Structures are given as structure tokens and as C-alpha cells.
Structure 1
Amino acid sequence: MNRVLIENSGHTFDVRPSQTVLEAAIEAGINLPYGCRNGACGACKGKVLTGKVMHDDFQGNALTYAELAAGLALFCCARPLEDLVIECRQIDAVQGIKPCILPVRVQHKEQLGEDVMVLHLQLPGTEQLTFMAGQYVEFLLKDGRRRAFSIANAPHEQGFIELHIRKIAGGH
């Protein structure tokens, strides 16, 4: 097991060999920014000040070789090889908003353009999704991968989620 110190906050947490830095931080209740959780978006990028990490597969547009050489890492796919001191942004916990898994049903879809579709997803009858402007939802795919989409409707509009989805080549 390796220990990670976030230099800019003083928070520490342990990382098991089977975990990424991000997985261990979340388990320890430390909120680091992230998006895709598979090395594609770069939202979890931070700097390794001391120590070494090994990266699982990631996309070159999320972390370039120059950034890697400069000590940057994608914490969603970085596994510590030794104790680390890192520098990264942390997100203050938002009162009353906790991640959850909800089933949804496509209520309405509308083609806005050749490559953009609006989806209205209906929540179960008694469920409410509490969120803030700028937050996103993750879809858990059958093969275990995740896809994140920003929520397009206002937080006070309850009962549904509106997503604007752009078709991207190779984007499943």
C-alpha cells in the first residue's frame, strides 16, 4: 500500500495496489475533479511532485508526452509505484448532493443537427435528482465503460434530465 499526500491541502490517503489515485481518493472521501474515469477527458490531471506512478491506457489528447515528462498525471488511471506527493485541485463537498445510480427512460429525443441530439430522460416517479448548474451524469455501459454528459436543463426543473449529445467518431 502506498500513501498519497496532497500538498496544497495537506490531505493524505492510502492507495491499495489494485487502485488508481482517483479511486483511493474517492474511497477516502476526498473529492478530486474527474470526468470520464478512463483517461480520455483530462479533468483529473494533476502534478506528481515526488514519487512515481504507472499509467493505465489513456488518450494522448488528455495527457501529452510533454505533460507526462513535466510530471503531470491523470489520476483516474495513475497507479502509485511508491508514496506520492501530488498537487491537484480539490472540490469542496456540496451539501446534500451525493452520487447515486438511478434508472432512467428516454422520454423524448429530438435531432438538432446532423451530429447533435437532445435527449429528455425521465426519472422514476418518486425520484428526484439534486444537482447544480454545470454538473454532469455518467452512463454506465454494459461493458463497464462510462460516458459522461453535461446536464443541459436548469437544476430547478425536476423530474427529467435534458442532455445535448454530439456524435463523435469512435465515441460509442
Structure 2
Amino acid sequence: MRKSVKNAVVVGAVLAVTTGAGAAYAAWSATGTGTAAAKATTAQALTTESVTVDGDLFPGADGDAKLTIHNPNSYPVKVTTVTGSTVTVDSGHAASCAASNITFANQTGLALTLAKGESKTFTLAKSVHMIADAEDGCQGATFTVAVSLSGVSNA
């Protein structure tokens, strides 16, 4: 091979490597900074759809409260406390049966879980009590127990 052809091949090879390296070196790099924003939701109050007593009460007896709770939030919750407040007696028995004949044992340390938007029924064992010396006028009465709920998000 002639010397001029060899020189041309070497020069061509050097140019090819240099051009490829230059193209790689010419790649752009980019950096940047920014901020992200997130908005926290507002907790909605849990509601009780019904509170009933499972089984018949009689003087000295305990009953299980069946409690249907609705979670209107967009996240799961865990109910940790159910507290009883006002007890009322149906209008047909209110004159002959005092609401104080019934007590509700407050429930703490619970872990009643509800998914987002879920309604679910829970049984609170032996949480309703009729006192031992309940009035005769309480026979056949229907008692309503108002409760309040406390809980936490359960993500």
C-alpha cells in the first residue's frame, strides 16, 4: 500500500474517532430545582347509623350493643373509643321507666377499622346494662343510647 493511502486511512480514522468523541462531548446536561405542593384533606365526622341492643334486657342483665358506623372520609379510620351519653326511653314507657335504669359501659382501647367510605356493624359485648332494681314500668320499653366516637386515620 502506498504511503499516501496509509496516511489518508490514518487521518480518516483519527477524524472519525474525534468526530464521534466530539458528538458525545456535545451532549447537553441539564439540572434544575422545583417545589411540590400537597393539600391535606379535612377529616369528616364519623356517624352512627344505628345503635341497638342484641338480646332482651331484664333487671341485672347485660346486653351487647350493635353499632353501625359510617366513615365518610377518603381514607380508612380506626375507631378507638365509643362513649355513651344520653339514654332515652320510648315515649310509651317514659312516664313509668326512668332512663337511669340503663347504663352504657364506655369502650376504650378499641380497634374498629373502617375502609374509606365504608359502613360497618360492630358488636360491643356486654356494654349495655339494666340495673338490678329496674322499675316494672320498664317492661317492653325501648331504650336509645346516644354515643360519641373517637378514632384515628388508619393508613
Q: Same fold (TM over 0.5)?
A: no
TM-score w.r.t. structure 2 length? 0.28
Question: Which has the bigger relative contact order, CA under 8 A and spacing at least 6?
Answer: 2
TM-score w.r.t. structure 1 length? 0.26
